[in-house]
Structure 1
Amino acid sequence: MMYSLKWGVASLFIFVGTIANAQNEKHPSRKSLLETVEKRIKESASQYTFLMQELKPDRFPVTYYEDKGQLVTSGSEPWVGGFYPGGLLYLYELTGDTLLYQEALRKMDVLKKEQFNITTHDLGFMMYCSFGNAKRLEPKPAYDSILVNSARSLASRFNPKVGCLRSWDSDSSQFMVIIDNMVNLELLFAATKMTGDSSFYKIAVEHANTTMKHHFRPDYSSHHLVIYNPGNGEVRKKQTVQGASDSSAWARGQAWGLYGYTVMYRETGDPLYLEQANRIGQFILNHPHLPADGIPYWDFDAEDIPAAPRDASAGAVICSALLELSGYVEQPLSEIYLKAAEKMLQSLTSPTYFSDYGKNGGFLLRHGVGNYPRHADIDVPLIYADYYFIESMARYKRMNARY
């Protein structure tokens, strides 16, 4: 069912009034924020130069445990592998520092074998954030081949009876789909553009439609996980595994939904996806538990708010998505989204979240939350938080080039 955006605009004005009046927060001027962003871009490049010296050649950064002085790394196979080279490529684009570019190429040489990995749904994160950015900066046939092979591997996980790509393989009798998978669809659209094969495009659209139908609640918050019957596509269960409860709004899950449906609108032009992105954005920005600085708690329904940990990774994803979404809607909604993103970016570039050189294990942002229910990676840096933060800075700089 389509809803009028007029009602959404009115509701979003409530958010703007709350931030500007009840919280008495002064909004940064665009020129001032851009100057801060330029400064943080240069500092980010220096920080990553420090980080690369801490890494072994075949390892990828994941997080850092300050209390132990421990840099946590992985091989190329986990879902986070593409964020480090992707962030390096953005920083190279922004600074011209070829040292960052060469490091990205070295890591992608390790990562490229994952193009044939059919055991994961995260190939969009892994391969598009890395090789997709590399192709954008310097198109090469080798990048096309890697991206298309990666898309084929991802497409092999599609079940037409369910209408989705499988996320988790832990139980073959259950077809598990998580909201995160929306962000992997961008890889499939890229494959259709490169090959002319519309099957990738159709899989992405069907996955998005099925997810839109079953993952979202009436208020446009999202479950984390929906479990389907693989034989007939019936919904068996809805859960929020990484959230506070099955009925709660896990912050990064809401961020993935916002980002994913914004991409869906960009790639298809279908107003249904723009409407979905707007409704998710409205849920986030109007939520009474969204802090004044725009960086959400790890779950919007966490029991210990306001003492609950913030999640800079969710904030960075939301910020990047809102910057893009602001370009697809008319005024005054465009300005509302842009101001909300600017508030988030102002916070992420502040000393509260942004690290000094050589601190935080070489990561950029503090205060991320990985998996709170499992007591894993709480109030630590996260490589995917860094990636979407860098992307946010890149998008903001591009939008404000006139300054």
Structure 2
Amino acid sequence: MQKTNFIKAFLVFSALSFGSLSAGFAQKKLDTTFLNQQLNDAVKQIKVLAKNTPEHMLPRSFEKGKYTHSESGWWTSGFYPGTLLYLYEYSKDKELLQLAQQKLKLLEKEQFNETTHDLGFMLYCSFGNMMRITGDTATYKPILLIGAKSLATRYSPITKAIRSWDFDNFPVIIDNMMNLEFLTAAARLGGNQQFHNIAVTHANTTMKNHYRKDMSCYHVVDYNPKDGSVIKKKTNQGAFDESAWARGQAWGLYGYAMMYRETNDKKYLKFANKIAKYMLKHPNMPKDLIPYWDFDAPNLQDTSKYAAYRTNRDVSTASLMASAFLEMSTQVKGKLSTQYFDIATT
């Protein structure tokens, strides 16, 4: 419960860091004592994490009682410096800023990485926040624009989507929705307007091909790179191909709320609301709104290779939902706004 409380507190603080959201939250009552307590604890915890992270590595996880680490090419490499920067913004503790600056040196080479779709996670969470907080556009803007150019090389005008992995035919995963903001932001920074167009086209293609009639989504859609036709719809992380992998549903929820913010195109907000309805009304959604790792997991047969994990929950999905619903509470009005805010903060 303590971990979940921190996640919600951190998400609220992160949202309030952006002026576009602050106005919406100003009319809501927030328990600032609770928020400060959780965030102060987070500052202490991230310093412990820093002491247990080698200088040339980035933290990845904690498994079997030990910290695990990654190099800069891992998809979550931007999360740690991004978190350092959010907590610096809250605490004004310069040690956190210095730690973030050190880790950005490891990440800088990834601006030239054309082998991954995750450059938004890797660069925008890190260099994007550093530029926003310090105002140093001369240093960080070129890195972001080169990174966006690298990401754009993975786009195909035939499939009308950004390629995720360099195996299969032309696989596109729902996770890609999270990296589109990097492209729209780069276009605003003076980069090629095509960055924005790619983001919009990818979002539209995903709407068309990833989603089922009930508004659940597939994890992977594999395209024919020669004609753009769909070869297969499947999963790589869900319980089975036709299941609803929980984090994937949340990637989409957040992604379309973000695309509405970035484009002001109401079809994206309408789509996000439909995804929200599917998730919230799903019969397997627990009362505390921390989903099972797959919405179909509780119904798995004993013969499933994942049968032992029927009741496992996914707090990463819950954190994604909280962040999405916080933003969506500022995008809708009336009772729905209150409902979304309460879901995110309760």
Q: What TM-score do you get using the length of structure 1 for normalisation? A: 0.75
The residue number in structure 2 matching 1:25 is: none
The change in CA–CA distance for 1:96 and 1:304 in structure 2 (over 3 A counts) is farther
CA distance in 2, matches of 1:204, 1:120: 16
8 Å CA contact 2:62–2:68 kept in 1: the answer is: yes
> What one-letter code is carried by the residue in structure 2 that aligns with 1:155?
A
Is this contact kept in 1: 2:285–2:291, CA < 8 A? yes
User: Is 2:28 the counterpart of 1:35?
Assistant: no
Q: How far does residue 109 in structure 1 lie from its aligned partner after superposition?
A: 1.0
From 214, 235, 239, the equivalent of 1:240 is: 235
Structure 1 counterpart of 2:116, which letter? Answer: T
Alignment partners' CA distance in 2, 1:196 and 1:170: 29
Distance of 1:96 and 1:50 partners within structure 2: 18
Instruction: Output one character per residue of 1:74-133: Cα deviation in whole Å (capped at 9) or x when no partner.
Output: 000010100000011011111111111111111011101100000000000000011111
Partner of 1:58: 56
1:330 aligns with 2:325: no
Give the distance between the partners of 1:229 and 1:205, measured in 2 at CA: 21
- The Cα shift of 1:231 comes to 0.6
Of 57, 63, 69, which residue of structure 1 is paired with 2:65? 69
Paired residues for 1:162-181 under 5 Å: 162-171=159-168, 174-181=169-176
Q: Distance in 2 between matches of 1:227 and 1:196?
A: 29
More moved, 97-106 vs 190-199? 190-199
Pairs within 5 Å for 1:199-214: 199-214=194-209
- The residue type equivalent to 1:63 in the other structure is S
What secondary structure does 1:78 align onto? Answer: coil
1:268 is matched with: 263
1:237 aligned counterpart, secondary structure: strand
> Moved runs in structure 1, 4+ residues, more than 2 A?
30-35, 303-307
Q: How does 1:124-143 map to 2 (within 5 A)?
A: 124-140=120-136, 141-143=138-140
User: Is 1:255 equivalent to 2:250 in the alignment?
Assistant: yes
User: What is aligned with 1:149?
Assistant: 146
- Give the Cα separation in 2 of the matches to 1:200 and 1:221: 28
Supply the distance in 2 between the matched residues of 1:34 and 1:316 (Cα, whole angstroms): 19
Structure 2 CA distance for aligned equivalents of residues 307 and 122 of structure 1: 29
Residue 83 of structure 2 corresponds to which residue in structure 1?
Answer: 87
Any unmatched runs of 5+ in structure 1? 1-29, 344-403
Q: Which amino acid aligns with 1:43?
A: D
**Matched residue count:** 310
| 1:334 partner letter | S
- The reply on whether 1:297 has 2:292 as its aligned counterpart is yes
Aligned to 1:62, the other structure's residue is in SS state: strand
Shift of 1:31: 5.4
* 1:270 partner letter: D
Change (3 A) 1:318 1:121: same
**Alignment partners' CA distance in 2, 1:89 and 1:225:** 32
The 10-residue stretch of structure 1 (143-152 or 68-77) with the greater mean CA deviation from structure 2 = 68-77
Distance 1:326 1:169, change over 3 A: same
Q: 2: CA distance between counterparts of 1:339 and 1:208?
A: 28
CA–CA separation in structure 1 for the residues paired with 2:184 and 2:29? 35
Structure 2 CA distance for partners of 1:108 and 1:63, relative to 1, 3 Å: same
Measure the CA separation in 2 of the matches of 1:237 and 1:283.
23
Q: Percent identity?
A: 50
Q: Aligned letter for 1:227? A: D
Unaligned runs of 5+ in 2: 1-27, 301-308
When normalised by structure 2's length, the TM-score is 0.87
Any conservation in 1 of the 2:284–2:298 contact (CA below 8 Å)? no
What pairs with 1:182-193 in structure 2 (closer than 5 Å)?
Answer: 182-193=177-188
Q: What are the equivalent positions in structure 2 for 1:14-29 lying under 5 Å apart? A: none
Shift of 1:332: 1.2
Displacement of 1:175: 0.4
The aligned residue for residue 17 of structure 2 is none
Partner of 2:343: 340
Q: Is the 8 A contact 2:131 2:141 kept in 1?
A: yes
CA-atom RMSD in angstroms: 1.4
Q: CA deviation at 1:32?
A: 6.9
CA contact (8 A) 2:145 2:191 kept: no
